[in-house]
Amino acid sequence: MSDLALVAQRHDAGDPLAGRRALFVLDDGVYLDGNSLGALARSVPGRVEDVVRRQWGALKIRSWDESGWWTAPERIGDRIAPLVGAAAGQIVVGDSTSVNVFKALVGAVRLVDDARDEILVDATTFPTDGYIAASAARLTGRTLRPVRPDEVPAALSGRTAAVLLNHVDYRTGRLYDLPSLTAAVHAAGAIAVWDLCHSAGALPVGLDEHGVDLAVGCTYKYLNGGPGSPAYLYVRGDLQDRFDSPLPGWNSHAEPFGMREAYEPAAGAARGRVGTPDILSMLALEAALEVWDGVSIDAVRTKSLALTDFFLECVREYVPEGRVESLTPVRHEERGSQVALRCSPDAGDVMKRLIGRGVVGDFRQPDVLRFGFTPLYVGFADVERAARVLAEELR
């Protein structure tokens, strides 16, 4: 056994989160793709069976009341809230991240005066956010201006209506400074909208603490909600009575069963709803979130940094010099919970070979190997094995 394998054993023996691994369905491989799709929580299949057979099969429409279907979007939102540093009553679950980005960005523009005619968007963003920002700009008569997150403070002006930023860069794993960027946006009189897809469930966010206006995120990555599980929308409490969603639906009406001709938004986070909730996937998500009971997000962050530090150490020790280059920041305050390695010219083939040997990460064009570290079920022995197998494939 190598020295690093022994180090991994010691780390795993002292890991306070090690017991959480048993709550997931895992095989003998190393799963480092939780930044794309989290592993299945053991509680989910039984819960889904109950939803299908008893709640839907037996109770049928009665389950909207008797099984709590109607209140699920806000109830599950309140379960997510502590993981992103929000008080209850500010998060509603439903729709996709894309739909929620649209609601949040158009809603943000509607919160400021018409003289603010420019929207700033993260130039390095996941493509969908850019597409939606461009559409929101066209629909609201604003100009869209792509800027890198570190360029935002200099780009802000009295023209800025809203700024859409990613908390963690999906390619490199770089973590951006949410507190200081939010403060800069507010100092300019604009609205801050954050995409938390690659940070929620991996590190502290502090939405309330840092005064974030609006935020969105998916639930199928570090929150392990399952493929296509519903996303969420955060609207800060003091903005809720002014939040004007561009997608008003019967489900967000103050009297949803009144079938009124005129729209009157519901109070609170519920005005972020649109149509009928997707109950099957929503209740699967609710079951998946039980793995977080009793878990401190600070403890998750501590382990995440230790895992990524150890992986980088193992890569330096095992991988032939010059074969890969880390794109992920070394400084903890700039690092999310993934490591991106540039591997030219054969990154795609390398990842296929890794997956064939039971080490699952993913490949991003043109030359990036991505490895996501989910602290609830990834251990240090996994990390050492992944780096060792990578080195064997690159020799």
Please, what's the b/e burial string for 38-57 (b: 16 or more CB within 10 A of its CB; e: otherwise)?
bbbbbbbeebbeebeeebbe
Cβ contact 89:268 at 8 Å = yes
Q: What is the Cα Rg of the chain in Å?
A: 22
299 CB neighbour count, 10 Å cutoff: 13
Closest C-alpha among 1, 232, 201 to residue 94: 232
* Those residues with Cβ within 8 angstroms of residue 71's Cβ, 6 or more apart along the chain or in another chain: none
Distance CA 338, CA 346 (A): 20
Cβ contact 347:329 at 8 Å = no
Tokens (6 digits) for 98: 């894309």
Distance CA 186, CA 217 (A): 21
User: How far is residue 221 from each of residues 76, 193, 259, 346, measured CA to CA in Å?
Assistant: 16, 20, 37, 26
**For the chain, first and last CA: distance in Å?**
20
* Those residues with Cβ within 8 angstroms of residue 226's Cβ, 6 or more apart along the chain or in another chain: 38, 40, 44, 220, 281, 284, 285, 288
Q: Catalytic positions, please? A: 126, 195, 220-221, 370
Cβ contact 173:336 at 8 Å = yes
Please, what's the b/e burial string for 274-294 (b: 16 or more CB within 10 A of its CB; e: otherwise)?
beebbbebbbbbbbbbebbee
At 331, the amino acid letter reads: R
Tokens (6 digits) for 332: 């903890």
The owner of tokens 């999906």 is 170
Cβ contact 393:354 at 8 Å = yes
